[in-house]
Structure 1
């Protein structure tokens, strides 16, 4: 019998390779509300205190030359949790005000989502889990479906 896995506390941060550090940092701060920390030469550290999530952007000293492609091995997209459909509609209005292209809010059995692209075509999904789907995965409330501790 295998011993149980050691504890995980949740998602700490995401590190994304980007072509244009400044454009990517502007998107994550202006559009999604992340806060920039002190920039380094080829890295930008951003945090979202409410979501308790860090995003690290790097151009690998200028070595990143192509946009993201979810059809290659690796990350497909990043889904950021929102509390509910009304919040998702508020995001839709914000993106419209900022001129950020996005999909319409779409309903599935798992919840509602809205998709957009960060610089370098990086796919971001804003996702509000349906209460019925939360129950399927053993959660009392959809807002419990986030990678964080209380």
Structure 2
């Protein structure tokens, strides 16, 4: 009789630990992504006058904290269906946005908060409220 009671107690304790483990982790914010911090940035793309595309001005985006300039452009591309072309994956350089491609005379320039981005765009992290402007300028 004592053996049977001991087995029942052991099974009860084992089930209790299992239930607490499963349901205890369900409230973990990292499990559902709710602990991911986001920031809001704006994106402007200034196409040349002869392009048959209208400029994109102050396109507001919510992105993960520490997102990069490159990630924002890629996110915009996938959200809006605008094709981008990037050269050199290790040190990315934007070769085309939409149907406007860089060449030996013209290039896409990126500015962050009115300052030229001089670092690699895939390394340039963003902060809340940052303003990114892409413009097509002489190389």
TM range (shorter): under 0.3
Higher share in helix:
2
For normalisation by structure 2, the TM-score amounts to: 0.28
Bigger relative contact order, structure 1 or 2 (CA pairs below 8 A, ≥6 apart): 2
Q: Which has the larger radius of gyration?
A: 2
